[in-house]
Amino acid sequence: MDFLEKYASWIVFLSALFICTSFIGGYPIYILDEARNAEAAREMYVNDDYIVPFFNGELRTDKPPLHYYFMALGYELFGISALGARFFSGVFGALTILVTFLFARKRLGFKAASLSVVILSSSVFFVQEFHLAVPDPYLIFFVSSTLFCFYEFYDSSKKKWLLWAYMGIGLGVLTKGPVAIALPGLSVFLFLILKRALNFKNVMAFRPILGLSLSLIIAIPWYYMVHEATNGEWTKGFFLDHNVNRFNSGKEGHGGLFLLTPLFVFLGMLPFSIFLIQGFSKLWRERKQNDFQLFAAVVSLVTVTFFSVASTKLPNYPMPCYPFIAIILARFLREVGTNKPPFKSLKYSVIFLIFISILLPIGGYMALSQEKTLYEVRWVALLLSVLTIASLFVWLYFKKAAYKKMIVSIALGWGFMGLVLFGVIYPMLTMKSPTVLASKIIGENSDVVVYQRFDSAFPFHFNRTFTVVHTLKELEAFLGEHPQGYILTNTRNTESLLKLREFNLIMEQKALFENHTTRIYTK
């Protein structure tokens, strides 16, 4: 035990790095957001332009650039590939788990900190986020680290923690914009209210003017340069369309009810989210005994409420609060692990988890059976039965009151399921993606034109940008110059598809889990 505690930080980081980067380059980039971010970074890298982001040669206003820079570094290290695009997402996942462990160990002890690592590492959908070439892994790290540092300053009054906190905000703003200010600001504000410490003196102790100035010094230079380089187009697109409009209206069809965000949190933190009610109940009873736990609850409440109120709802949005929820759950599980008589509700949580473990492979098999593209590989869903097997041990240990072994069985079962997902299931499914199948037809130097629109994964997969046309006349002109060329489209417009009948359809493949179909034509 002394060895484990002595080298705990390294053990946690290296273990988390393995989990968050497992099979990270083993399957192609195919999800829309991941494809567009990876491609924008690729175009920055090959054009040696790190100010203005482009996707397929057109201005991309969706996100600031910090994650592009890390992806570009990944391309330099590993080549332009899925591994290069995703590698630093995994690194920041490992860093997130590490800082959670370090701060939890300082405030709650080694056992609770270790349990928080177990909870995060076995939360498959949380770990999956660090397998994606998107900005969220970086934002999760910067926001959670900032909040930990703010609490350290509140408790110790050491100014170095304020410095780290405001640096984290600045880097967060460079990652995803104003949300990196809003979440920490609202959390600290509400915490001070609950502690009855919200007064001018305490607020000024946080040096808000000086601190935010430091944050802006980090972030503003790039924002200014991109504003000037695009005559304000990037600024308008990002702040109005991708911040104001995304908050006020359901962007790209990602709306939903208020309760959708709490549901995302529950699903995202499975398997240990089955103990959320017990964990928060314990925290409420002991809220006056531990300010750190109260702070964790405030961060969780603010984050979930913020994204519940926002009109656009996505599973990754509330993830910056997952480290704090993990800490709350860890304190509850530490008590369960002492083999004391459990809470009466523990049995129902375990039964519910077993039900999910049995349902997942069945549901997965049925879902893949409904996808014509994936019907012949639907059997891969049965690999999720590893959860069903693990649930047998969970129930056995629960009945024997061996609660430590029960917790270990839950973590190992879901952790192993994650490895199966990343190492076997995703590679099998993505072999049926339009880009993979198209690469067997379209050669590296083939002439290709896009008609109206296309699957966003194509530019990154083929390591090139594509010319986009919108009329039949332009297509005929293209094929007149390139008789052996290809027409690529995923348009849903029936009239447009009817116009393409005069060409030779050589490939038709539906996108994985999305409502569009890629078609390739020749003369």
* Tens digits of residue pLDDT in 195-206: 999 999 989 999
Domain boundaries, the chain: 2-242, 346-432, 435-522
CA 300, chain centre distance (Å)? 17
| Amino acid type, 9 | S
Half-sphere exposure of 164 (CA within 13 A, CB side): 18
| C-alpha span between 106 and 117 (Å, rounded) | 14
> Which residue reads 């980090």 in tokens?
218
| Identity at 234, one-letter amino acid code | W
**Cα–Cα distance list, 131 to 128, 435, 467 (Å):** 5, 19, 30
Q: Please give the backbone phi and psi of residue 465, each rounded to the nearest 5 degrees, phi first.
A: -100, 160
Reported as a single tens digit per residue, the pLDDT across 101-140 is 999 999 999 999 999 999 999 999 999 999 999 999 999 9
Percent of the chain with pLDDT over 70: 96
Instruction: Give the pLDDT band of residue 251 (cuts 50, 70, 90).
Output: low
How far apart, in whole angstroms, are the C-alpha atoms of residue 90 and residue 92? 5
Model confidence pLDDT, tens digit, residues 22-34: 999 999 999 999 9
Residue 493 has pLDDT above 80, yes or no: yes
**The CATH number of domain 435-522 is 3.40.190:** yes
Task: Quote the pLDDT of residue 252.
Answer: 56
pTM: 0.95
pLDDT above 80 for 444: yes
Distances (CA, A) of 355 to 4, 175, 275: 35, 39, 15
